[in-house]
Structure 1
Amino acid sequence: MLDRLRTAGPVKVVVGDICCDADVVAFLDGAEALVHAAGVVGTDERRVRLMWDVNALATEAILHRAVERGLDPVLTVSSYSALFPPTDGVISPETPTAVGRSAYAKTKAYADRVARRLQDDGAPVVVTYPSSVVGPAFGTAPGVTERGWAPIVRWAIAPRLRGGMQMIDVRDVADVHARAMRPGRGPRRYVCGGELLDFDEMIAALEDGLERRIRRVTVPAAVLLGAARAADLLARHVALPDGLSHEAATLLLAATPTDDTATLHDLGMQWRSPRAAIIASVRGNAADARRQQLGDPVP
């Protein structure tokens, strides 16, 4: 990935551990601003300690260090999981930080409270709240959303249920962060929800990407939640797909919308279609698989 980034200009790499204070100090040395996106993303409980170390405590430390050094802006990438469930049914920049139901949500909520306290003190801390990010990877491993639908793509079978998810094109997420990196604008919070797709719309987009039908099997909500709870217990001992968790099922069934009005207005943006991003992601993965079978390098 670094080789691809270097095509845009010189890149200085500082190797270190985000949980090591000395490494954080070295990383911030000479910096004018910060984009903090280090995190452990997951909807299961297998890496609880690591999530607390990285998502919560390391984020707290680097935000305080950056503010003390006068960096502007100090941007940290949160998640709309930190705001779920919202008190009024819609996630917005004014939604209070949630308690969190899973280890991931709890750790992101902890970091969000840290960021908001700094904002209350007037620090130029910017927080972004991406939803389910979709689209082709940029020389990186598949994201949690793509890993979640991987079994559906592999076996061409999916549950039929009432639910949906906010989804956003990865390029829009990148544009939000690029446009938010302007000094002198003070504390900001940007919800990056994208578009609310119902579950069947997402499956239809996967079908378009695969260019084949996906069989639907009706699954009642109670059955899905029960299976997800069982998966959480099993996941403590064996690795399971990210989509098989109680938090993932709860988010899907809730189909909670977001209010991105302030983000779009403040940054002068319009969201791309997440459907097109899903299709491009599936087709890109298929093309990469064919290259690997032929022994060609994957770009």
Structure 2
Amino acid sequence: MLIAVTGGTGFLGAHTVAALLRRGHRVRLLARDPGRVPSTVDVVTGDVTDPVAARRLVAGADAVLHAAGVYTFDSRRRDELWRVNVRGTEVVLGAARRAGAGRIVHVSTVGTLYPTTAPSVGPASPVGEPREAYLQSKVVAEGIARRHASVGAPVVVTYPPALLGPDDPHLGDQNARLRAVLRGLTPIWPGRGLPLGDVRDSAELHARLLGGEVPARAAFFGPGNFLTTRDYLATARAATGRALPAVFVPPRALYPVGRFADRLQRVWPWALPVQYGAIHVCATAVPVDPDAPTGGVAARPALETVRDTVTWLHATGRITGRQAGSAAVSTSDADGVSAALTGPGSGAVQTEEVLS
């Protein structure tokens, strides 16, 4: 099968591309810099907001994965969120539908279903009305996908949880947050919790969907677990053997802190570890219904995911041995660990392009 992919050089996209290649599928990527794309895939040069490039990408494709998007709670990137997440979705899904692709997978996020008064979310859950720029952009993008599906287009929406895992080309939001925890930059945490999954599990779900291994339905949820923030820190402690002291505060009590940090971020040149959006997710998140479809992919234990991520962060020089604790690798083993995590069977494609 020929599968067209946007966002194939980002975190989830790169892992999905690797899973597709392992299955023997042909992959065609949309990328702004072809020189950073592996030689094992076809490339269309362009941006997701470029209708001509989108038409070239999807021409003759059996299936389309729209995984491109800006995932950040950084208040400085509001315009970029709407340009890429909303306009990009309009362009790519419209092109895929007109090209007659047999299956179109739109990557949303479970966060679009918050806030909710229900005890859990599932395929029948309506989108929420979040008060945060990233989630607002993803809600509008999902509305575009749902409209295409409502008129008969073969659109499937997937809802990944917050994703951790090795082989992150850009050290995205969640891996950067774990790194901040290990560096002692986030000693104060909002209470409640968040859905957390392994990027390799969501990539496996996407590969099954795109390859036709899973019967079509309107929506699927990325495999994951709901962890309280206390559980999250406990898992990081177990993975590293470190104390990682922290104070837990009711999340809404931290809203003013998050809003102030967002305003400060607009003039502060370095990324701040405190963001209103992250606090908002912890305040509003609920578990995914245990019967929600995951394409038959079981979520791996959170401890395995966190340990693998910490090991990768250390092996690639992003944290020190002291910060990695018991998950650290020796200098002599670091190259071997890095090769094992980034090699052909690891589920990752190493690149630097995030928005294509």
**What displacement does 1:293 show?**
7.9
- Equivalence for 2:307: 279
2:259 corresponds to which letter in structure 1?
A: R
- Residues 13, 160 of structure 1: CA spacing in aligned structure 2 closer, same or farther, 3 A cutoff? closer
Measure the CA separation in 2 of the matches of 1:233 and 1:22: 37
Measure the CA separation in 2 of the matches of 1:180 and 1:108: 21
Measure the CA separation in 2 of the matches of 1:108 and 1:162: 24
- Residues 67, 170 of structure 1: CA spacing in aligned structure 2 closer, same or farther, 3 A cutoff? same
1:215 aligns to what SS in structure 2?
coil
Matching of residue 197 in structure 1 with residue 242 in structure 2 = no
Measure the CA separation in 2 of the matches of 1:163 and 1:11: 42
Measure the CA separation in 2 of the matches of 1:162 and 1:29: 48
Question: Does the 8 A contact of 2:63 with 2:102 survive in 1?
Answer: yes
Deviations 1:152-208 (A, max 9, x none): 211276226532111011111011101112459555211226111111221122223
Deviations 1:42-68 (A, max 9, x none): 113211111111101111121111111
- Residues 160, 37 of structure 1: CA spacing in aligned structure 2 closer, same or farther, 3 A cutoff? closer
2:194 aligns to what SS in structure 1?
strand
**Please, what TM-score do these two structures have when normalized by structure 1?**
0.88
Measure the CA separation in 2 of the matches of 1:7 and 1:114: 29
From 61, 65, 71, give the equivalent of 1:35: 65
Measure the CA separation in 2 of the matches of 1:82 and 1:51: 14
Measure the CA separation in 1 of the matches of 2:267 and 2:60: 44
**What displacement does 1:36 show?**
0.7
- Residues 54, 260 of structure 1: CA spacing in aligned structure 2 closer, same or farther, 3 A cutoff? farther
Matching of residue 165 in structure 1 with residue 194 in structure 2 = yes
Q: What pairs with 1:139-154 in structure 2 (closer than 5 Å)?
A: 140-154=169-183
- Equivalence for 1:74: 104
- Equivalence for 2:354: none
1:263 aligns to what SS in structure 2?
coil
**What displacement does 1:99 show?**
2.7
1:258 corresponds to which letter in structure 2?
A: V
Question: Does the 8 A contact of 1:193 with 1:259 survive in 2?
Answer: no
Measure the CA separation in 2 of the matches of 1:156 and 1:227: 15
Matching of residue 270 in structure 1 with residue 290 in structure 2 = no
- Residues 211, 39 of structure 1: CA spacing in aligned structure 2 closer, same or farther, 3 A cutoff? same
Deviations 1:112-134 (A, max 9, x none): 11111111112110110111111
- Equivalence for 1:44: 74
Instruction: After superposing the two structures, state which structure 1 stretch, 128-137 or 206-215, moved more.
Output: 206-215
1:23 aligns to what SS in structure 2?
helix
- Equivalence for 1:53: 83
1:262 aligns to what SS in structure 2?
coil
Which fold has the larger relative contact order, with Cα–Cα distance below 8 Å and residues 6 or more apart in sequence? Answer: 2
Q: Which runs of 5+ in 1 are unaligned?
A: none
Question: Does the 8 A contact of 2:198 with 2:300 survive in 1?
Answer: yes
2:183 aligns to what SS in structure 1?
helix
Question: Does the 8 A contact of 1:193 with 1:260 survive in 2?
Answer: no
Question: Does the 8 A contact of 2:191 with 2:248 survive in 1?
Answer: no
**What displacement does 1:243 show?**
5.0
Question: Does the 8 A contact of 1:52 with 1:107 survive in 2?
Answer: yes
Question: Does the 8 A contact of 2:190 with 2:282 survive in 1?
Answer: no
Measure the CA separation in 2 of the matches of 1:280 and 1:249: 25
Question: Does the 8 A contact of 1:225 with 1:246 survive in 2?
Answer: yes
- Equivalence for 2:210: 181
1:76 corresponds to which letter in structure 2?
A: H
Question: Does the 8 A contact of 1:190 with 1:260 survive in 2?
Answer: no
Q: Which runs of 5+ in 2 are unaligned?
A: 1-8, 25-39, 321-328, 340-356
Aligned length: 294
Measure the CA separation in 1 of the matches of 2:279 and 2:61: 41
- Residues 177, 272 of structure 1: CA spacing in aligned structure 2 closer, same or farther, 3 A cutoff? same
From 239, 257, 268, give the equivalent of 1:238: 268
**What displacement does 1:287 show?**
2.3
From 9, 13, 26, give the equivalent of 2:56: 26
1:204 aligns to what SS in structure 2?
helix
Measure the CA separation in 2 of the matches of 1:219 and 1:28: 48
From 145, 148, 161, give the equivalent of 1:131: 161
2:52 aligns to what SS in structure 1?
helix
